[in-house]
Structure formats: C-alpha cells, structure tokens
Structure 1
Amino acid sequence: EPHFVQALPYGPYVYFFFREVAVELSALGKVVVARVARVCRNDQGGSPRVLERRWTSFLKVRLQCAIPGDTVFYFDVLEAVTPPRALHGRPAVLALFGTQPNRHGGRDTGTRIPGSAVCAFYLADVERAFEGPFAEPRGTAGTWAPVPEDRVPRPRPGCCAGMGLAAGVVTSGDFPDETLVFAKEHPLLHGAVAPAGGRPLFTRTGTRLTQLAVDTGAGPQGNQTVVFLGAEDGRVLKVLAAAQHPRATRHPGSTPAPGDSREPGDTGDTSAETLLLEEISLYDPRRCRGPRGASRVLGLELHPPGRELYVAFTGCLVRLPLSRCARHGACRRSCLAARDPYCVWLPPRGCVPFSEDLPSGFEQDVEGSPGITGTCQDAPAAGDGDGDLAHGVRQAETGAAATVPVPVLVGCVLGAFTLGALAAGLLAACYRRPAVPKGPLESPATPRPLAQPPAPRLYPLLPPQGGAGGLWDPPELPTPEATPQPPTKMPQERVAEHRRGQATHLNTPGCPEPPGPGPPPKATL
C-alpha cells in the first residue's frame, strides 16, 4: 500500500520518497514506515526471461526520524519532502514526518496522537545506505535479517548499466539472470537512513503538520536556514534552524542514531537549538470557503525574488511575506530579540526587512546575545543606552486585520444606541404641534348636549319674492297652479347661482350634497 510523496532526480538516479505498510514489521501489526527508493535513469527493463518491462535497479530502504533515548520515539508517517538543498555546505533533503494512526476495529480510519517532526537527510548518507546489506525473512517467526555478502551476485543488483561495477554491461537487459532474479526477490535493504545529527531538527506535539518549505540562504550573509511548516488547522510556523559548520563539535547531550554515517572529519552536528520565530494563523473561512477540512495546508512554495511564501488551501491561495518586521515597530530590543534573519534594525527607520540595497550600519542578532532580551515594556537592558523611539508600540503591518477588544466594542454599541435614542426624542419634541381649542373652554363637569343633526332640505331654494334679499320658506307645499314661473336667466347667471349654492352647501356641516342642476326650464311667452 505505497503512498508516494515526492520524486527527485539526483545524479544518475531518481529517488522516490513514499510511505507504506512495513512487511518486515508485520508481527507488530499494520505499521506504516517511510521509505526512499532508487531507480537508475538509464534503466530500460530486464531481459525477456527475467523482469521484462520492469525495473532492474529498484531498491528501497527505510527513512528513520526518531527522538533517541532510553525509549526511542519514532515519527514514521512521511508527509512532505523538499528538493535537494545545501545544508551546512552539503546536499540534503528535509522531510516532514508524523505519528502513527491508531487504527481500531479493523477499519482504515482511526485517531492518532498528533505530533510531527522535521528531519534532514544528507544525500551522501542516502546513497551509502543503498550499498548496505540486503534483507530477507528468516524462520517461521517472520523476522528479517541481513543477507550475507557472499550470497550477493556480481554485478551487484541495483547498479546502473555502464557505470561503476557494471561498466561492462551495455544496457539493463544485459545483466545476468542471476543478478536480475536476486534483485526481484530482494528489493528491500537492511537498516535505515539516519537523520543528520541523529535527531530531528524540530518537533511539535499537539498539532499535525502537513507541508514544509525551506530557505537555506536567509540572512544578510545567506548562511541561515529557515523552515516554514503548514498545519492542518490553517497555521504556518516559521522556524529558525541554527547555523552550524560541518566541522562543528557535537553537543555533549546528543546521541547519534544507529547507522549514522559521516564523511571523514564531519561530526554531523545539527542538534543545536532551533527557535520558533512565528506562528501565523492564515486560514479565514469567510474568504476561503471549502468543504470540511478545508483549513488543511496543502502546499507551501517559496518565491525568493518576491520574498514571499505561497500557501495553498482547498479554496484559496494566500501570499505571505517572508519578513513581517513592521510588527516590532520602533522597538529596537523587540526587533533584535526576535532573531528573525529577515529583519534588521536600521536607525532611524526602525525594524525593516533586509535587502541588498540597505546602507551599512544595521544591526541583527540571530545568535541571541544575552544582553538583548525582552521588549520595550521592560526596564532598559544593558547595552541599550540609546533607548527606544517608542515604548510598547507595535505597528500593525500593512494589510493586517486590526482586532478590537470586546469591552471597547460593547461600549461603542451602547453609546451608539444611547445617542440614537436621544436624537429620536429631540426630533419628536420639535415636530409635535400643540392642539389649539376652537371654542371657549368648558368645565369638565358640565355635560355637553348631544348635537342635533340638521334636517335635510327636500327642495332646492326658491328665489326671493318682492325683491327681498333673504330666502323665503313656504308655509305649505305649493300646488302646480300656484307655483310661479321663474324668470328666464342667461346661462352665465345659472352657472354663478349654481356655484353660490355649492359654496353654501360646503360651508354647512352635516349637509348632504345637493343634486346636480337639471335641464334649464323652458321660457314662456
């Protein structure tokens, strides 16, 4: 059940980094281990008799990343591998490992105690491991043991045709059948490739790391190594690996892992203290939507020309600057105590990112001098005589999201609500009109008589008699014979009279609208 992680061409070989269930540890259950395999670039397959159209130079060996001690703690699940980098002047790869899953009930899924580690492997040690003894099972218990060297055929299986011990072999199909059969039956090598220094460069518990990227040329002198690690919860860790020289002395407390090989004069010391520079939370579900588990970092890619790191999630791609020096503001001690190889202190500009065009006179303390510790909120430290330009001030970087404390936010909401209520009350008081009484005030105890509705008029008003200006109400209903004939009026007089009647009706409360004027009466001679 192999799971391939990385393929890297290097020299005449192509290296494959993967993880699989260890057949040599089947007595312990379903144990996953990390492997590195090697294939010759000029491998064209075997002869028509053996390994036809199959690799003749395929060999694999275990990668070991563990914390040494009385009880060795292994990180066996390979997660990511970097391309070859110059580490302490030697070609090496950095690999990220995790802890074993805890499968239960025969299911493939399970829980695990989260933990991760970063180990470095020199490619010279990897090549030397492929020259070690082959492994084969022995006995009924299923234990694996090394194959005696006198049983290994010549040319040695795994050699490239036309090179080294197989210089007389033209193509991979010209190997003897004995060599091809042995390579088919013994693809696994005994032992394991130990990490540089015999221990991990960096370990982290409680968090599962998924990706890594490394910059081996950080700092003004280009001799610092910075490792960027992506976690499954959307965070990015920035780790400084202390600069060491290949011939440095070994730390007294370090213990080399079994099988650790070194070149003459090389102590292989990389066990110096590493420093976690920053822990940045990048995943934002509001801007980077995705399915469940979308916060997992899927990839990290460095862009040295732009001094940026690209972080890939399921639903978005985030660009992160390598240097975040603005967070130190104008605090000299905070800038120097951060030990960030990408930041330098340059008066009077403050803490700025390092670049080749900076003037001389900047300061940097990657090694961590004892005299430069603490922050600007503390008492002045020794050697910091010029003081700081600002005390306890940290300027947020450009584009960073500013956070507001919860008490301030609650106070702003309450203040806005109070101001809004006062403004609404003032507006209501200004626009309210007082009621003006239309008649004399009456005592509240005096009962008011009910208003009697006026009697409706059944007939239209008649013109006055005898030239009087008032209206005349007949005492009795007139008869057709006694009804006088109205004088003949012009159309203009009828219109004016109709308008006067409408005005009188409208000014009388409770009166129904009189019927409209009918046809004009006929004039009699």
Structure 2
Amino acid sequence: MLKWLAISLISNNISFPKFAGESNHSTEDIDGTGISPHTCLQNSLSLVADGDLYAAAPLYDDGTLLQFRRKYGQRTSVWMYDQWVSEPTFISSFLAKRNNDPLNEKIYVLFREKNSDMSPEADPWISRVARVCKVDEGGPKQLLQNIWTSFLKARLVCGIPSESLYFNRLQDIFIQHADDWRNSRVYALFSSSWNSTAVCIYSLADLDVVFEHSSFKGYSGAIPTPRPGTCVKKSNSIPISTLQIIKDHPEMRDWIHPIQKDTPFFTSNKNFTKIAVDRVQASDDNMHNVLLLATDNGAILKILEDGSKAFIISETHLHNGSAPVHSMKLDSEKRKLFVGYPGQISMLDLQRCQNYNASCEECVLSRDPYCAWTEQGCTSQTRGGIQNIADGLTEVCHQKPGGRFRREVQEVQTVPLRIQLSVPTGVPFYLSCPVDSHHADYKWEHKQKSIPCQKTPSECLLLIPAMTDDMYGSYKCTSNELDYARTVKEYNLFNNNFRSDSNDAQMLRVQGWLIGAFVSSAFYLRTL
C-alpha cells in the first residue's frame, strides 16, 4: 500500500527533476500510464537504469495489458509484443553492468506466468527469466517497431529433478552484483502447490549460457545471423529473419538450472515471502553470505550460506502478533534490515550479538558472521575476536588467538543454581527448561538415567504423572551441541511429608506448577 501510494500520487502526471549544477532545477511532467498501477492491488514493478525508466504496470483500469516497457528516459520507448507472456506476475528486474562492454549490457526481468501445459498434473504457473538489451530501441517499420527486438525468455527451474518435483511459483529475488557480471548471483524464492517454499541460487553466467546457446522452442530451422537476442547498436537494422524468430519463438528450449542442480539450497514448510542477502566479513577475514527470509506471519530468519548447505542462525519476530511481511529493504552498510508490515515499518539490527553473550561457546556456536567473542563479550566488533564460522566447534574458545595479541577470555558463569522444590507424594508434576538453540539436543538426567524431553517450540519438559519415592532427587536439563555440553537447569525435588489432599499440598502443587512453567519465555531463539 505504501509503495503504491508513493507512486499513485503522481500516476497521472509524474515529475522527474533534472538538476543543473547545485542551485536550480526544472521538472518535466509525463503521463504515468504504464508506469503506475491503477489500484494498489495490481501487479507492478519499476527500474531506473542509466537515466531510463523501465516499468511493468497494467495499461488499462481493468488490469489488462500488463507488460514490461521502457517508458521514459534518454532512449526510445519500447514495449512487449502481447503474445510473449500469458497472465504474468512480474517479480523484479535489474541491470547487469558490463563496464568494459556497455553495448552488451542486459536488463533481466523475472516473473511467473500461466503454464501452457494444461495437463492435470502440471502446476498452473511457471517461473521465467527474460532479458532485453539496454541499447534496444525497437525494430524497423516492417516488424517490431517500438517493440523489443532482443526479448528472450527461459524457464527458471528450482526443485529435485530426479523426483520430478519442482517449486514453480517465483515469489521474490535478490541480486548480488559482482565486479565481473558473470559472477553475479540471483537468489530466488519459490513456493509450490503443496505449500512449501525453497531458495535456489543462480549464476548470471549460467543464465546467459542458455540465452546464448540454447535452441528456440518451437523452431527447427537455421539460426540466422545475428543470432536472435544479440545486442545491436541500431536495432532497427536487424534483419527480418532474426526478428521473425524473436516475434514467434522467444522462448529457449533449455531450462535455467541453479548452481546446485540436484536440489534447492534451502527448503521449508514455512511460507516465505521475501528475501535479501547480506555479504559479511567475519573475524576470520573471509566473506560470508547471510540470507534473510521473511515469512507470511512476520518472522525473519537469518541463514548462513555454508557452501551448499544452509545453517539457520536465528528467527526473530518484530511484529506483535502474526502479520505478513509486505516489503523488505537491506541497508548493508549499517547492518540494518527494514521490514514493512501492514500499518507498520520495523527495523532489525542484524548485529544482535548480545543474544549469545552467555559465554564464548554460545557466541561461537551461533556461527553468526556479524559477531565474535572479545574481552567485552559477544560483540559486533569482530576484528581480532574469537569465532568459528566454518564449523562452529567451540575448541577455539580454549586456544590462544594465534597471530593476535594475547588475552585471557573471561567466561561468564554458566552453571545454573539448583532450584529446590518440595513436592508431595502422589501429585502430578512437571519441570521445564528453556530451549535456546534448536541445533542442540536436550534431555533430562535423573539418578544416572537419561530421560528424553517432551518438547515445545521453546521448552524442554519433563512430565511426572504422579510423584513416587524413587522420583525425588536431582534433575538436570542438559544440552549437547557439536563439542559443547552444558547444564541448562537443575532442580532438586524433595518430600516434606505433606498429604496430597490437604490444602497445603494443593498450594504447593500450584506453586510448583508456576515455577516449572514457561521459564525464560523471552529468550531469543537460535532456531532450526
């Protein structure tokens, strides 16, 4: 809604300031049709690249003629041939800069559209990536005048090909630009017809291999020169034979596969709606990618890209109650994430190192590239700090930082006090301890016996149906994660010979229940 309002205020007459020096400027009013949607519910996107405005918005009030256009700027306005896409939902677009080859710079457009395969087992939607040349100004009068002469599209695949299982519905993307455009990466978020979501990662070089070398779907003739999709400085001079293929057969026969071809990088039964990716230099001086995923109930997951594996660092709820995330903007320089909810904008500090401040081990186990253990505790001042992003093993906490200045790590006392509870014989009872890491295994120990947890999302519970003599004594709740074991909570249950049916016993039972219930519910969770 906020995004649309910002645009809709200027939907009929849009003013673009043209600055001349620093003291004065002039404005030019232009028609906003095809740039701004007519209502906040209509799909749209916009991109400003090298002084030109590209947009996708319905041309008419009823939402029809939704297509990607260059609408305003230094170059000629061009648009799509209306047979190229079917009921599209445009997701995002970006310019891939080629500093040494500006003629071949491309605009990439990611969208989903109606699947032409009408078979019952086929998903009704399919995801695409299209590209056009930045220098494209349309064809000659005979064919594709003021229409893209370089438009090509290909299917974007995310799934498990060996099982013919695909996530077909593109929801959001994040482009991570590199100095060499070929090393740029597209992080794409998909959903499926069975209510699961997935993240797949694509190399821009791999995208271009398909566009440059694949045959054209539905076309079996000789491929003319220049090849359809080639960037030509004067696009109105492209031969008709090349333009005819662009007009009639713009789809590539080959599919675009992610870097990890056999399976998505990350899958979940949560319904994710937005994605952003930060690049962080950790205390080991290596660069690490951190994915930020928003769910439809308002949670933000922070995930470490560990090669081909995903490691969930944390889950955070910024909104009181359940609310979908409508927009998300990353400020990488300030390490902040701005999240738009219905009627609210929240800011998430990505350097929440205080949540791992209990000990060096807790800080290291987090594997959070924003944080490291120092003399001040777990802090965002990572240079010279102790951390182990590679595998999270805590043995580094007991080693001197080689090659750095010597210091003694002052550990915070992590052994909990034993809680004394008087419990009458025969009453039901339960104990609880907080689950602050879902990467750890929790259990109870009593009289040298191990008892599994009754787990909730935030607690490890021990349920005692009725107290008997052999159930009194010490109970320890322990956690084990990688090479680190600790006692989270310890109770001692004893019997003062109260009768279970007396008022005093009933009061003790209630008091015990209150003590045992929902301890440390405000703990920040490191979540699976």
Cα distance change of structure 1 residues 241 and 196 upon mapping to structure 2, 3 Å threshold: same
Q: What does residue 76 of structure 1 align with? A: 168
Q: What does residue 186 of structure 1 align with? A: 249
Aligned equivalents of 2:512, 2:331: Cα separation in 1: 39
What is the DSSP-based 3-state SS (H/G/I as helix, E as strand, rest coil) of the residue aligned with 1:36?
strand
Q: What does residue 223 of structure 2 align with? A: 152
Aligned equivalents of 1:196, 1:333: Cα separation in 2: 33
Once the two structures are superposed, the pairs formed by residues 232-271 of structure 1 within 5 Å of their partners are 232-242=296-306, 270-271=307-308
Deviation digits for residues 466-495 of structure 1 (CA, Å, limit 9, x no counterpart): xxxxxxxxxxxxxxxxxxxxxxxxxxxxxx
Aligned equivalents of 2:513, 2:392: Cα separation in 1: 44
Aligned equivalents of 1:37, 1:161: Cα separation in 2: 18
1:208 aligns with 2:271: yes
Q: Is the 1:331–1:388 Cα contact (8 Å) retained in structure 2? A: yes
Q: Once the 2 structures are TM-superposed, how far is the Cα of residue 309 of structure 1 from its aligned partner?
A: 1.0
Residue type of the partner of 2:191?
A: G
Q: Once the 2 structures are TM-superposed, how far is the Cα of residue 24 of structure 1 from its aligned partner?
A: 5.1
Q: What does residue 353 of structure 2 align with? A: 325
Aligned equivalents of 1:174, 1:278: Cα separation in 2: 55
Q: Once the 2 structures are TM-superposed, how far is the Cα of residue 209 of structure 1 from its aligned partner?
A: 0.4
1:58 aligns with 2:85: no
Q: What does residue 60 of structure 2 align with? A: none
Once the two structures are superposed, the pairs formed by residues 490-501 of structure 1 within 5 Å of their partners are none
Q: What does residue 278 of structure 1 align with? A: 314
Aligned equivalents of 2:265, 2:328: Cα separation in 1: 18
What is the DSSP-based 3-state SS (H/G/I as helix, E as strand, rest coil) of the residue aligned with 1:190?
coil
Cα distance change of structure 1 residues 37 and 204 upon mapping to structure 2, 3 Å threshold: same
Q: What does residue 8 of structure 1 align with? A: 94
Residue type of the partner of 2:170?
A: L
1:127 aligns with 2:208: yes
What is the DSSP-based 3-state SS (H/G/I as helix, E as strand, rest coil) of the residue aligned with 1:227?
strand
Q: Is the 2:110–2:130 Cα contact (8 Å) retained in structure 1? A: yes
1:353 to 380, 405, 429: 380
Count of aligned residue pairs for this structure pair: 325
Deviation digits for residues 339-373 of structure 1 (CA, Å, limit 9, x no counterpart): 111111012x1111135xx5x3x200111254549
TM-score, normalising length: structure 1: 0.56
Residue type of the partner of 2:152?
A: L
Residue type of the partner of 2:390?
A: E
1:338 to 366, 374, 390: 366
Aligned equivalents of 1:4, 1:156: Cα separation in 2: 26
2:259 to 191, 196, 202: 196
Q: Is the 1:216–1:222 Cα contact (8 Å) retained in structure 2? A: no
Q: What does residue 226 of structure 1 align with? A: 290
Name stretches of at least 5 consecutive residues in structure 1 with no aligned partner. Answer: 101-112, 138-146, 163-170, 243-269, 286-293, 374-380, 397-402, 413-525
What is the DSSP-based 3-state SS (H/G/I as helix, E as strand, rest coil) of the residue aligned with 1:306?
coil
Residue type of the partner of 1:350?
A: G
Aligned equivalents of 1:27, 1:173: Cα separation in 2: 43
Flag the structure with larger Rg. 1
Q: Once the 2 structures are TM-superposed, how far is the Cα of residue 39 of structure 1 from its aligned partner?
A: 0.7
Q: Once the 2 structures are TM-superposed, how far is the Cα of residue 132 of structure 1 from its aligned partner?
A: 2.8
Q: Is the 1:3–1:20 Cα contact (8 Å) retained in structure 2? A: yes
1:118 to 199, 222, 225: 199
Deviation digits for residues 279-329 of structure 1 (CA, Å, limit 9, x no counterpart): 1122214xxxxxxxx711122221123221111112111111112111222
Q: What does residue 424 of structure 1 align with? A: none
Q: Is the 1:87–1:216 Cα contact (8 Å) retained in structure 2? A: no
Q: Is the 1:201–1:241 Cα contact (8 Å) retained in structure 2? A: no
Aligned equivalents of 1:97, 1:319: Cα separation in 2: 25
Aligned-residue RMSD, C-alpha: 3.3
What is the DSSP-based 3-state SS (H/G/I as helix, E as strand, rest coil) of the residue aligned with 1:334?
helix
Q: Which protein, 1 or 2, shows the higher relative CO under an 8 Å CA cutoff with sep ≥ 6?
A: 1
Deviation digits for residues 372-397 of structure 1 (CA, Å, limit 9, x no counterpart): 49xxxxxxx98799783221689x9x
Q: Once the 2 structures are TM-superposed, how far is the Cα of residue 133 of structure 1 from its aligned partner?
A: 3.1
Q: Is the 2:174–2:186 Cα contact (8 Å) retained in structure 1? A: yes
Q: Is the 2:155–2:256 Cα contact (8 Å) retained in structure 1? A: yes
Name stretches of at least 5 consecutive residues in structure 2 with no aligned partner. Answer: 1-86, 98-104, 401-407, 417-433, 437-457, 459-509, 516-528
Q: What does residue 64 of structure 2 align with? A: none
1:173 aligns with 2:236: yes
2:391 to 368, 380, 385: 368
Cα distance change of structure 1 residues 204 and 316 upon mapping to structure 2, 3 Å threshold: same
Residue type of the partner of 1:5?
A: I
Q: What does residue 128 of structure 2 align with? A: 35
Cα distance change of structure 1 residues 187 and 68 upon mapping to structure 2, 3 Å threshold: closer
Cα distance change of structure 1 residues 159 and 26 upon mapping to structure 2, 3 Å threshold: farther
What is the DSSP-based 3-state SS (H/G/I as helix, E as strand, rest coil) of the residue aligned with 2:135?
coil
Q: What does residue 489 of structure 1 align with? A: none
Once the two structures are superposed, the pairs formed by residues 421-436 of structure 1 within 5 Å of their partners are none
1:301 aligns with 2:329: yes
Q: Once the 2 structures are TM-superposed, how far is the Cα of residue 211 of structure 1 from its aligned partner?
A: 0.4
Q: Once the 2 structures are TM-superposed, how far is the Cα of residue 192 of structure 1 from its aligned partner?
A: 0.8
Aligned equivalents of 2:326, 2:292: Cα separation in 1: 13
- Larger fraction in strand: 2
Aligned equivalents of 1:215, 1:50: Cα separation in 2: 44
TM-score, normalising length: structure 2: 0.56
Q: Is the 1:85–1:216 Cα contact (8 Å) retained in structure 2? A: no
Aligned equivalents of 2:262, 2:124: Cα separation in 1: 21
Residue type of the partner of 1:368?
A: D
What is the DSSP-based 3-state SS (H/G/I as helix, E as strand, rest coil) of the residue aligned with 2:342?
coil
Q: Is the 1:331–1:350 Cα contact (8 Å) retained in structure 2? A: yes
Aligned equivalents of 1:236, 1:207: Cα separation in 2: 11
Q: Once the 2 structures are TM-superposed, how far is the Cα of residue 190 of structure 1 from its aligned partner?
A: 0.5
Deviation digits for residues 402-443 of structure 1 (CA, Å, limit 9, x no counterpart): x9xxx889979xxxxxxxxxxxxxxxxxxxxxxxxxxxxxxx
Residue type of the partner of 1:230?
A: A
